[in-house]
């Protein structure tokens, strides 16, 4: 089958479209990745073109050796992904040492955040916690970077107390990286370190990096976090005294009801 006929490709295109409707993808903002499973890989292998154009990674990601990663092409405008789609996505094969990649299908250059995706996909694989990442720029969660102290506990608590479903959609909380220059190894490492403990990471002043079993579930997590952030920001922006909240006890009961336990940090 051709890659563009595959379910994972169609799902990515669909959810990128939803992200654009949300206003999360100005200019070339955003990138996604999916570590292909065996079935997906075998279903599209005939569409691959193999070359010897291996590109070294700035640092080996041993845990991703021999994996195939479907991702977005650097500089692609998400609002325009449905046109010439096969030039705006690509599939990277990771070398047997995890130190290089080559494009086996699609556009010429993967996202500039490839290292962050590979390091995070590796950490997720190790703890059997999904194989997809959705990165976007939602305004409300980014705005909270300026208001809430930059630590995992403070951000997570602020989100849990803002929307009832937060306690069971992301009971582990949300990690925060602090400021890092986009596309750097420093950001990649900071993200991969946080994704070991949290399903999503706030890139301060930048965006959200959400993981999941599929592009759909990673998108859903980003959406839930952004909605909680929007409510928190509206409450804070109202200037009115806060006389009610979702208490810690209520958050814990909510999580427990659905079989989860809130992270205690």
Q: Could you list the residues that contact Zn ion (CB under 5 A)?
A: 207
In the complex, minimum distance from the CB of residue 108 to Zn ion, in angstroms, rounded to a whole number:
20
Q: Is 9 exposed, middle or buried (0-12, 13-18, 19+ CB in 10 A)?
A: buried
Write the CA distances from 145 to 6, 20, 138, 263, integer angstroms: 37, 22, 12, 21
Respond yes or no: is residue 39 known to be catalytic: no
CA atoms within 13 A on the CB side of 46: 5
Closer CB to Zn ion, 28 or 86, in the complex: 28
In the complex, minimum distance from the CB of residue 10 to Zn ion, in angstroms, rounded to a whole number:
24
* Structure tokens that stand for 128 in this block: 């059997």
Closer CB to Zn ion, 150 or 204, in the complex: 204
Closer CB to Zn ion, 201 or 262, in the complex: 201
Closer CB to Zn ion, 144 or 255, in the complex: 144
Q: Give, to the nearest 10 degrees, the angle between helix 114-126 and helix 185-195.
A: 20
Question: What is the distance between the alpha carbons of residues 119 and 62, in angstroms, rounded to a whole number?
Answer: 9
Closer CB to Zn ion, 166 or 207, in the complex: 207
**Nearest one of 198, 226, 231 to 212, comparing CA atoms:** 198
In the complex, minimum distance from the CB of residue 206 to Zn ion, in angstroms, rounded to a whole number:
6
In the complex, minimum distance from the CB of residue 114 to Zn ion, in angstroms, rounded to a whole number:
13
Given 113, 161, 226, 230, which residue is catalytic? Answer: 113
Q: DSSP assignment of 116-172, as one string?
A: HHHHHHHHHHHTT--SEEEEE--HHHHHHTTTS-SSHHHHHHHHHTT-TTHHHHSTT
In the complex, minimum distance from the CB of residue 57 to Zn ion, in angstroms, rounded to a whole number:
19
Other C-beta atoms closer than 10 Å to the C-beta of 23 total: 11
Residue nearest to Zn ion (CB): 207
The residues that are catalytic are 113
């Amino acid at each position: 089958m051709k890659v563009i006929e595959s379910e994972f490709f169609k799902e990515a295109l669909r959810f990128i479209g939803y992200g654009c409707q949300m206003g999360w993808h100005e200019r070339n903002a955003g990138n996604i990745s999916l570590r292909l499973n065996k079935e997906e890989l075998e279903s599209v292998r005939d569409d691959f073109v193999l070359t010897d154009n291996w590109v070294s990674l700035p640092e080996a990601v041993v845990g991703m050796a021999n994996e195939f990663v479907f991702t977005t092409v650097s500089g692609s405008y998400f609002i325009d992904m449905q046109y010439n789609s096969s030039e705006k996505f690509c599939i990277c094969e990771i070398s047997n040492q995890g130190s290089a990649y080559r494009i086996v299908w699609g556009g010429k250059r993967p996202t500039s955040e490839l290292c962050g995706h590979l390091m995070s996909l590796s950490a997720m694989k190790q703890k059997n916690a999904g194989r997809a990442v959705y990165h976007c720029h939602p305004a409300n969660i980014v705005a909270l970077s300026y208001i809430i102290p930059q630590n995992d506990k403070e951000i997570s608590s602020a989100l849990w107390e803002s929307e009832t479903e937060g306690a069971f959609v992301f009971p582990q909380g949300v990690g925060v990286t602090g400021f890092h220059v986009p596309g750097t190894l420093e950001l990649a490492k900071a993200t991969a370190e946080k994704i070991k403990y949290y399903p999503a990471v706030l890139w301060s002043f930048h965006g959200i990096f959400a993981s999941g079993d599929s592009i759909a579930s990673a998108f859903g997590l980003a959406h839930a976090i952004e909605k909680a952030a929007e409510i928190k920001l509206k409450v804070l922006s109202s200037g009115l005294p806060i006389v009610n909240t979702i208490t810690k006890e209520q958050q814990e009961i909510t999580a427990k009801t659905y079989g989860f336990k809130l992270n205690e940090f």
